[in-house]
Amino acid sequence: MKQPDAGPGACQATVIIVGWRRARHLRGCLAALAAHRCGVPFDVVVALNEPADELADELDAAPVAVRVLESDANLGFGAACNRAAAVASAPLLVFLNDDATVEDGWLDALVDAAARRPAAVAIGGAVRFCDGRWQEAGSVIWRDGWTSGVGRGLVQGDARFFFERRVEYCSASSLLVRSEDFVAVGGFDEEYYPAYFEDCDLCLRLAARGEIWFTPLASVRHLESQSTTGTYRQYLMERNHELFLRRWGTELASRPERRQDEVGIDQALRSAAGARWRVLVIDDRTPDPSLGSGLGRMADVLEELTGDGAALVTFFAGSEGGAVAPERLARAGIELVRNDLVEYRGRLGEAITDHLAERPFCYDAVIVSRPHNYERYAEALRAAMPETPIIYDAEAVYSRRIERQLALAVDRFARVALQDELAAMSHLEATIAADADAIVCISEQEAEFFRRRTTAPVVVNPPLLSASSPSGAGFDERDGMVFVAGWGAGADSPNADGLVWFVREVLGRVLARLGSATLVVTGANPPANARRLASDAVRLVGGVEDLAALYRRARLVVVPLRYGAGVKLKTVEALQHGVPVVATSVGAEGIPFAPGVVAVRDDPAGFADAVVEALADRDAWRALHAKVLAQLEAWQREPPPRIWAQLVREVIAAHRRTGASAR
């Protein structure tokens, strides 16, 4: 396909390519550009230096529409790019080497990153060798003026640098620059003739106007240095390095000393990103809010740690692997390490040991969520990194949940099993309290549980979710009920028990009075006892990518949990989306809301009465909805503090003062 047909005025990006003499790789570059899947309207300007007679004719038959600028003299790379940029009308300039072939989504990913990061003046993509090994995942400029491609030589499957981050520079083999910023700094410095170091120089000048970013989602395969011989290339690099060092030597004096080992690269990477720490976070799954189970809150924790550039974060998907495509975390600036359950079944502590063995540097802090993950990984973490503090993200007091489940159990064998489980969990949570260097809870009630068992800091972080906001939809624009569930804990989970109780004890009473009503139940892979409840009135819709759209259509959210612990994020999330809630006292516990904001009922008849009133009585629904919106205003006036970056800072500082034996 030839793109675009709308003319340069409609283009969002202009792709600029420089060819010299025969430019034998240019046709392959243009073919890949034409074939790659792309939703961004773009045009292409090709600047030819000393072109062979037949090259211009060949470009007339190119698979993508191009505007060709010819020069009888070799202007060099920088001057040719400047000439092409001068005729471009798009707001984004994208420089692409003629010996590079783009992969699907390349331009979309660059433009998307620019839209998400308005402070970025330039964004470079991932550059790989033809065999897939990393050539450059962003680059480092050392104190002596020489550079290193981050990740260079690592195999294609190595995800170590597969996350967006600030960098010192990205090479012009695949580099987006905002047109206004390119013009403001005067484009490429043409004194770096004919090539090498002009992109380093450009990025340093652009950095005075904004940030330089790398995204791994825009990928090209690059032959590297195909236009010059090895001897001539070395001469040009050394000559232009001297020029670069004369220009920038003073500014480079604060850069790290050149080290080609992984420790040196990591130090330089942190320096470029402005990150003070490296933090390892361990939880069951990658934090997809649609899966429930507290993962929406974990997404907020990661955003808070990376949002102000305080930390480079690695997320270790501990016991259930990575359920979400790594692209989601990559966009958030988070490295994802997947745990292969098949490989590590029965010896999960070895998974973290193997991961740490690949890292010759230590993390500054580790955050472990949920007691089973602490049990699996803490010993290996302490052995590998005795000087690194561990923060326990309590998420809930699990022994309290088991106590409540035990109180409901009637089967003698089930009670014995639950009593054993309770004893084991109580011992485990006491052990965690004694070992952890700090503990984070989501309610004061649960914080008191840990304060009685530890001398370590215990911090409360109320779970208001950042990605939630109310819609303006009224009573007549909504219909039915929603129960947002995660099914990772299986058939014996509070969600499964609550759904069974609601359908068997409450829903019949509702249907008898209303004639019809629909309950939408979310969550991927529900257990058999939940699937058996499916009917015309109970719709199990599986995983829902856009919960906000579901909340906009729902008249009511039900949280019919009979046991559990901690703040129920499904209740908080529903309120933050402006949806009235009917919940049990367990479903509403720990949430600081005003009286009447949530209709709290524990008996089936009372729960059914509240559901019928909210579904069928327009005035009653509006009154309840008004209370929800008033509560949201109160939360917005006094939002919960962002505690994670400060806590990490304080725990690291305390650990360095007292040493590894402090706990």
Write out the H or E segment, with its range, that includes residue 628. Answer: helix 618-637
**CB contact at 8 A, 568 and 505:** no
For residue 617, how many C-alpha atoms fall within 13 Å in the half-sphere facing its CB? 14
What global pTM score does this model have?
0.86
| Residue among 607, 361, 316, 352 nearest 481 (CA) | 607
> What separation, in Å, do the N-terminal and C-terminal C-alpha atoms of the chain show?
64
pLDDT for 53: 82
pLDDT bracket for residue 346 (50, 70, 90):
low
Would the pLDDT of 199 be above 60? Answer: yes
Please give the Cα distance from 52 to 638 (Å, whole number).
Answer: 69
Mean pLDDT of the chain: 88
pLDDT for 269: 84
Please give the Cα distance from 439 to 447 (Å, whole number).
Answer: 8
Q: What is the 3-state secondary structure (H, E, C) of 441-493?
A: ECCHHHHHHHHCCCCCCEEECCCCCCCCCCCCCCHHHCCCEEECCCCCCHHHC
Q: Average the pLDDT over each of 187-196, 251-260, 573-582, 621-630 and give the range with the smallest value.
A: 251-260
Give just the sign of the alpha carbon dihedral 365, 371, 377, 379: positive
pLDDT for 662: 45
Would the pLDDT of 342 be above 60? Answer: no
Name the superfamily (CATH) of residues 275-461+645-662: Glycogen Phosphorylase B; (3.40.50.2000)
Q: Average the pLDDT over each of 33-47, 279-293, 333-347 and give the range with the smallest value.
A: 333-347
pLDDT for 660: 55
Classified as helix, coil or strand, 494 is helix
Residue-by-residue DSSP string for 139-156: EEE-TTS-EEETTTT--T
For the chain, give every domain's residue range: 8-272, 275-461+645-662, 475-637
**CB contact at 8 A, 97 and 17:** yes
pLDDT bracket for residue 317 (50, 70, 90):
confident
Q: Which residues of 277-298 are buried (b: 16+ CB within 10 A; e: fewer)?
A: bbbbbbbbbbbbbbbbbbbbbb
Q: Average the pLDDT over each of 110-124, 239-253, 272-286 and give the range with the smallest value.
A: 272-286
pLDDT for 635: 86
The stretch 216-223 carries a mean pLDDT of 94
pLDDT for 375: 94
Report pLDDT digits (tens) over 228-275. Answer: 557 898 999 999 999 999 999 999 998 888 887 778 888 888 888 888
Please give the Cα distance from 406 to 390 (Å, whole number).
Answer: 31
Q: Average the pLDDT over each of 306-320, 400-414, 518-532 and give the range with the smallest value.
A: 306-320
Share of the chain above pLDDT 70, in %: 91
Do 275-461+645-662 and 475-637 come out as alike in CATH topology? Answer: yes
pLDDT bracket for residue 463 (50, 70, 90):
confident
**CB contact at 8 A, 573 and 468:** yes
Task: Return the CATH fold of 8-272.
Answer: Spore Coat Polysaccharide Biosynthesis Protein SpsA; Chain A (3.90.550)
CATH number of 475-637: 3.40.50.2000
The encoded tokens of residue 207 equal 């950095």
